[in-house]
Amino acid sequence: MISSASIHEIADIELKEAAKYYESKVSGLGFAFLDEVERVVDLIRNNPESAPRIFKVVRRKLLRGFPYSVMYSIVDDSIRILAIANQKRRPFYWRDRQ
């Protein structure tokens, strides 16, 4: 289990924008999105190597019920979240983030 996680500043913006978008569509859906991201990050912390590598050291964990993935890498004893990636966006747009 890994206790610490950090989020890239652009990934944080992606997270907030997606939550705002969902909340604007249906009241409470933005909070459901945030809850699902939190659930996935907890899964990643508990078993960081369970998600497949998709680009060098970057791994992808899919969200349930939303067309998003948490893109992350394991750095020493911590998780670095690189993107909250919409599956319909251009693939690998986040690959230069660290």
pLDDT single digits (tens) 48-84: 999 999 999 999 999 999 999 999 999 888 999 999 9
Query: Which residue segment(s) compose the domain that 45 sits in?
Result: 4-86
Higher-confidence position of 93 and 70: 70
Q: What is the pLDDT of residues 4-43, one digit of tens each?
A: 899 999 999 999 999 999 999 999 999 999 999 999 999 9
Q: Does the model's pTM come out above 0.75? A: yes
Within a domain: residue 94?
no
Within a domain: residue 98?
no
How far is 51 from 37, CA to CA, in rounded Å?
A: 15
Per DSSP, 47 falls in state: S
Q: Sort 33 into a burial class: Cβ within 10 Å, 0-12 / 13-18 / 19+.
A: buried
The alpha carbon torsion through 63, 7, 73, 79 (nearest 10 deg) reads -100
In this structure, what CATH number is given to the domain that contains residue 30?
3.30.2310.20
Q: Give the number of domains in the chain.
A: 1
Amino acid at 52: P
